[in-house]
Amino acid sequence: MKYVENKVVLIGTGAVGMAYAFAAVNQSVCDELVLIDLNEVKSRADVTDLNHGEAWAPSPVTVTFGSYAECANAAMVVICAGIAQRPGQTRLELIATNIRIFKDIVGQVMATGFDGIFLVATNPVDVLAYATWVFSGLPSAQVIGSGTALDTARLRFNLGQYFEVSTTNVHAMVIGEHGDSELPVWSAASIAGRSLAKRLAARPQMQADLDEIFVRTRDAAYDIIEAKGSTSYGIGMALARITRAVLSNQKVTLPVSALLRGEYGHEGVYIGVPASIGRRGIREIVELDLDEAEQAKFDASVATLQGVIAASADVLPAPGSTAG
Q: Rounded to whole angstroms, how far apart are CA atoms 188 and 173?
A: 8
Q: Burial level of 66, CB count in 10 A (0-12/13-18/19+)?
A: middle
CB 146 within 8 A of CB 170: no
CB 24 within 8 A of CB 242: no
**Does 67 score more than 90 pLDDT?**
yes
Domain ranges of the chain: 7-145, 149-311
**Does 93 score more than 70 pLDDT?**
yes
The pLDDT of residue 96: 83
Q: What does the pLDDT look like over 36-64, one tens digit per residue? A: 999 999 999 999 999 999 999 999 999 99
Query: Model-level pTM?
Result: 0.94
Q: What does the pLDDT look like over 68-82, one tens digit per residue? A: 999 999 999 999 999
Domain 7-145 falls under CATH 3.40.190.10: no
The pLDDT of residue 323: 43
**Does 5 score more than 80 pLDDT?**
no
The pLDDT of residue 84: 73
The pLDDT of residue 230: 87
Q: What does the pLDDT look like over 105-148, one tens digit per residue? A: 999 999 999 999 999 999 999 999 999 999 999 999 999 999 99
Q: Rounded to whole angstroms, how far apart are CA atoms 131 and 125?
A: 9
Q: Rounded to whole angstroms, how far apart are CA atoms 198 and 201?
A: 5
CB 167 within 8 A of CB 191: no
Q: What does the pLDDT look like over 177-196, one tens digit per residue? A: 999 999 999 999 999 999 99
CB 29 within 8 A of CB 238: no
The pLDDT of residue 2: 58
Q: Mean pLDDT in the chain?
A: 94
**Does 89 score more than 80 pLDDT?**
no
Q: Rounded to whole angstroms, how far apart are CA atoms 151 and 157?
A: 10
Pick the CATH number of 149-311 from 3.90.110.10, 3.40.630.10, 2.60.40.10, 1.10.10.10: 3.90.110.10
CB 271 within 8 A of CB 126: yes
Write a three-state SS string for 157-207: HHHHHHHCCCHHHEECCEEECCCCCCEECHHHCEECCEEHHHHHHHCCCHH
The pLDDT of residue 320: 67
| Among the ranges given (9-13, 90-94, 262-266), the one the predictor scored with the smallest mean pLDDT | 90-94
Q: What does the pLDDT look like over 294-317, one tens digit per residue? A: 999 999 999 999 999 998 888 888
pLDDT-based confidence at residue 322 (cuts at 50, 70, 90): very low
Mean of pLDDT values over 163-174: 97
**Does 324 score more than 60 pLDDT?**
no
pLDDT-based confidence at residue 91 (cuts at 50, 70, 90): low
Q: Rounded to whole angstroms, how far apart are CA atoms 76 and 247?
A: 8
Residues identified as active-site? 178
